[in-house]
Amino acid sequence: MTTLSNEEKLTILDQHIKSVNYGLYGLELDLLEINATANPDAGQIANINNRVTALNAKRAALVIERNSLTETE
């Protein structure tokens, strides 16, 4: 089993958080595009909002893990 240093773990966590942030921004753009149409589809909007909620939960879990590693420094 490979043991990672806290610094290595933090680097990986930061990459994952950044990836989630990119995903969230992409969804924001999707919402802008849908809402720019003449008749925005409520189902699409609900789907995107559900995905935003899921990504926010993932981000929160990653931030909690990151915080637990920085508290030990």
Mean pLDDT of the chain: 95
pLDDT per residue over 28-54, tens digit each? Answer: 999 999 999 999 999 999 999 999 999
Domain ranges of the chain: 7-70
- Record the pTM: 0.88
Distances, alpha carbon 24 to alpha carbons 6, 19, 50, 54, 59, in Å: 26, 9, 11, 10, 10
pLDDT at 72 over 70: no
